[in-house]
């Protein structure tokens, strides 16, 4: 099994339940969801003319649409060659659940890593049970994809992007479809002041949690 990789890097997880934890990010290429405020639009298209050798991807100094095929074994070799210390691997995108992630996650677990997937909930989630699923639901985006009931049920936590009150209402509608309570994180879109104030107020009122994209405040990847 091989995967289209846009970048691999080590940093601190800046969002959700693992905020502040060292993590290796594996960003996959490809996403049809079409979020207007997406900060990784360069990962949307998997164009053949943008394919590169994996070595070229590893030395990118700017966000580009270039990508490379990589097997789980190649990724693990990359971690070792680059001297990564983190034991949490965050598989993101793009939309990583477009792909069968079982072979990748199993290889990572066998090598002593834990895994977290960040997904929009618009594709079936194929991962081992021990993989942590963070569902960041994307409702009403131009791609026209619906949030799947199966994704809501599999999610270990929900990290919801919030720009306005309507986003809270949409989240309530999604939570009503869940058969059990899940930890909820509200994340202000683009660190906007009004969005941040709304998130803080709602978190206090609902006993939810705030996710502030710490990495952007720190100026790291």
Annotation: binding site for [4Fe-4S] cluster: 31, 35, 38
Binding residues for substrate are 12-14, 27, 92
DSSP assignment of 83-129:
T----EEEEESS-GGGS--HHHHHHHHHTT-EEEEEE-S-S-----T
Binding residues for S-adenosyl-L-methionine are 37-39, 94, 136-138
**13 near 29, Cβ under 8 Å?**
no
CA distance 27 to 43: 8
Q: Of 28, 23, 50, 22, which is closest to residue 40 (Cα–Cα)?
A: 28
Binding residues are 12-14, 27, 31, 35, 37-40, 92, 94, 136-138
Treating both helix axes as pointing N-terminal to C-terminal, what angle do 165-175 and 193-206 enclose, rounded to 10 degrees?
A: 40
Binding residues for Mg(2+) are 40
């Amino acid at each position: 099994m091989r995967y289209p990789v846009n970048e691999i890097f080590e940093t601190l997880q800046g969002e959700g339940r693992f905020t502040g934890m060292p993590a290796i990010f594996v960003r996959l290429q490809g996403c049809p969801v079409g979020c207007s405020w997406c900060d990784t639009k360069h990962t949307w298209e998997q164009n053949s003319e943008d394919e590169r050798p994996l070595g070229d991807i590893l030395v990118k100094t700017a966000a580009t649409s270039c990508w490379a095929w990589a097997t789980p074994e190649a990724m693990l070799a990359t971690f070792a060659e680059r001297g990564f210390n983190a034991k949490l691997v965050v598989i993101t995108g793009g939309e990583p659940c477009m792909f069968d992630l079982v072979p990748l996650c199993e290889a990572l677990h066998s090598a002593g890593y834990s895994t977290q997937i960040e997904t929009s909930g618009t594709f079936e989630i194929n991962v081992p049970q021990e993989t942590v699923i963070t569902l960041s639901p994307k409702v009403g985006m131009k791609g026209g994809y619906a949030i799947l009931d199966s994704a809501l049920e599999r999610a270990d936590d929900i990290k919801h992007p919030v720009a306005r009150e309507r986003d809270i209402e949409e989240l309530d509608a999604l939570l009503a479809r869940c058969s059990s309570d899940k930890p909820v994180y509200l994340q202000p879109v683009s660190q906007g002041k009004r969005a941040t104030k709304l998130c803080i107020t709602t978190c206090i009122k609902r006993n939810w949690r705030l996710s502030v994209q710490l990495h952007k405040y720190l100026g790291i990847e």
